[in-house]
Structure 1
Amino acid sequence: MAAKSGQTVDLTTLPIQQLNQLSQQLDQSFFTNSMNQLKLAQGKFVESQECLNKATPDNLNKDILVPLTSSMYVPGELSDVQNVLVDIGTGYYVEMTIDQGKDYFKRKVEFLTKQIEKIQPIMQEKYRMKQAVLEVIQLKVQAQIAAQQQASTAAKS
């Protein structure tokens, strides 16, 4: 295991308390949350991209449900199948053609896919390091128990 100064530290030389602290530091909650948020955003962009496929001349002036929130919809009518308003973040909307919108969502999905691919190896490495620390903790605890049992049997004799 590498220390901050770039030196290698033998885990078996660390006391159990330091190993526990190291295990807590290797907790993946930050990376897991980041990964989940990236996948959620990616899913929303994919869904938006798929919705643009339904804006066809065949659906012009047809009744639709317009989402106000993720669980509340109002009735509406599809009046324009050439242009859409795309939320580009922080309350800004840009009018785009359907093809421009599809391209925008495609770029967003590709960007998020690359970010996910960057985080996955880090998560896997942190998981491997945590597993190694937990194995050493388990070995040290077993060694302590064995030593205590030996001491108690030696005291009884």
Structure 2
Amino acid sequence: MPETFDLPRLPVTFRPGHTRAVLLTAGVAIFLVISGIALLLELGPGERLTFVVTGALIFWVLAQLARVKVVADDTGVTVVNIASRRRLEWAEIVQVNLRPGDPWVFLNLTDGTSLPALGIQPGIAKQRAIADARALRALAEAHADGRPEQDQG
């Protein structure tokens, strides 16, 4: 029996909210601790600066990990991963997958490749990730059904 599902209003952004909060909180805490240690120790200005820069670098890495998201709008999907950003038209998405054990959603594309979408990941909030994956799948299917059929002549 097909699952009934209310489509989310577009545009919609999917992010791993709990994971993002943990990463950003850890980044701020690490930066503050390392900077505090630099101020407490008897160090020269260059050494203190090195501590602060190291803390800032660690925060930056954690912020990059926290920036992942999937944004769906009327014309397609933008996938922002750790080091990349890719815009997809709805017609390019064949299937949205989140199988048991997958670390995140995978988008099967018309060119035969699979694109990981780290913005939906079942790490800390598994039920939220499952709901987000279902919503993205429903959006992709709804837009697939709305496309004009080009193969028929």
Q: Could you say which structure has the larger radius of gyration?
A: 1
| Higher RCO, 1 vs 2 (CA within 8 Å, ≥6 residues apart) | 1
TM-score normalised per structure 2: 0.30
Higher relative strand content: 2
TM-score normalised per structure 1: 0.30
